[in-house]
Amino acid sequence: MNSSRRNFLIKATAAGAAVLAAPSVFGSVAASPQKKAADATAPFKLKYAPSIGMFREHAGKEILDNIKFCYDMGFRAMFDNGLMNRPVEDQVKIAGEMQRLGMELGPFVLYADFSVTSFVLNKPETREMLVNKMKEGVEVAKRTGVKWALVVPGRYDERLDRGFQTANVIDNLRYCCDVMEPAGLTIVLEPLNTIRDHPGLFLTGIPQSYAICRAVNRPVCKLVEDIYHQQITEGNLIPNIEAAWSEIAAFHCGDHPGRNEPTTGEINFKNVFKYIHSKNYQGVICMEHGISNRTKEGEARVIQAYRECDSFEE
């Protein structure tokens, strides 16, 4: 994408966001269009991270154009669940552009097989598979500089007591940490809801994940708080974030119901983001959700939703 077209898209999207903006976000109704456009492209208070391709109606399909567009819209992080499966040249390209712009690359999915029992088993062949998978993740981290690798421990075993399964998960994670720790790559465990999206999985809640991280007791074993999943599983979002804070290394977000951008469901993201900011959180909040309206206007509305939720008083 040439620079003149990119600048046009930046101005057009900023103007669209300004039109969508409530006066309380961008000041009084007398504020100039230039002031509104500037506010619409300023860096956010927190590192909200769009996925590569989230704004394809504006930025097109090219990877670097997507990253540049997000930066120009005020985002200072990105995430790519499928980073591990991209060609090496694309991984290197993404890392180079992120570094050039001073952006943070959020967690990538290292292991998340929802169809099998794995971490819950005490089997040498399972442990070998997991350790080898961690080694693959370390190579991705070396190429890209990413700090976090997302792990879902798989399904529970209906024939094995939950206590034994928990012990096996802890043991297997310690073996994985032996690989990750020298490389400085942190495992982030993701609990997922079983009510709507992922029935049959072992790890479902923040308290359960917190207890496992504490039991593993390694600095490279933490958890990712997925606000969408935890609203479904247990709610009580801010108190649970507070209770588990020492073990939280990353966030995912999406509103519920619908799993689309903030302001489309029942979660008060403005208050949640304000709380996270009050904890001096320096990490990434991955925008792991859909878009309620897949048009240019809908994409602009996603950006504006984050502007609204990021407008809390510090």
* Per-residue model confidence as pLDDT tens digits over 36-89: 656 779 999 999 999 999 999 999 999 999 999 999 999 999 999 999 999 999
Q: What are phi and psi of 110, to 5 degrees?
A: -95, -45
**Predicted confidence (pLDDT) at residue 147 exceeds the cutoff of 70:** yes
In a domain, 74, yes or no: yes
State the average pLDDT for the chain: 92
Sheet of 186-189: strands edge to edge?
47-49, 284-286, 248-252, 221-226, 186-189, 148-151, 108-111
- Looking at residue 12, its pLDDT comes to 55
- Looking at residue 26, its pLDDT comes to 34
Give per-residue pLDDT as tens, 149-185: 999 999 999 999 999 999 999 999 999 999 999 999 9
Q: Round to whole Å and give the CA distance between 53 and 51.
A: 6
Query: Domain limits at 267?
Result: 46-309
Encode 223-251: b = buried (16+ Cβ within 10 Å), e = exposed: bbbbbbbbbbbbeebeebbeebeebbbbb
- Looking at residue 39, its pLDDT comes to 78
Q: Round to whole Å and give the CA distance between 189 and 182.
A: 19
In a domain, 40, yes or no: no
* Higher per-residue confidence, 53 vs 7: 53
- Looking at residue 22, its pLDDT comes to 35
As a dihedral over the C-alpha atoms of residue 178, residue 179, residue 184, residue 187, rounded to 10 degrees, the angle is -90
Give per-residue pLDDT as tens, 246-267: 999 999 999 999 999 999 999 9
In a domain, 14, yes or no: no
Q: Round to whole Å and give the CA distance between 140 and 241.
A: 29
**Predicted confidence (pLDDT) at residue 289 exceeds the cutoff of 60:** yes
In a domain, 99, yes or no: yes
User: pLDDT category, 30, cuts 50, 70, 90?
Assistant: very low
Q: What is the pTM of this model?
A: 0.90
Q: Round to whole Å and give the CA distance between 90 and 106.
A: 16
Q: Round to whole Å and give the CA distance between 148 and 106.
A: 7
- Structural domain count, the chain: 1
**Predicted confidence (pLDDT) at residue 16 exceeds the cutoff of 90:** no
In a domain, 5, yes or no: no
In a domain, 262, yes or no: yes
**Predicted confidence (pLDDT) at residue 24 exceeds the cutoff of 70:** no
Give per-residue pLDDT as tens, 95-126: 999 999 999 999 999 999 999 999 999 999 99
Tell me the angle at which helices 33-41 and 296-309 cross, rounded to the nearest 10 degrees: 80
In a domain, 11, yes or no: no
Percent of the residues in the chain that have a pLDDT greater than 90, as a whole number: 87
In a domain, 8, yes or no: no
**Predicted confidence (pLDDT) at residue 211 exceeds the cutoff of 50:** yes
**Predicted confidence (pLDDT) at residue 10 exceeds the cutoff of 90:** no
CATH of the domain at 301: 3.20.20.150
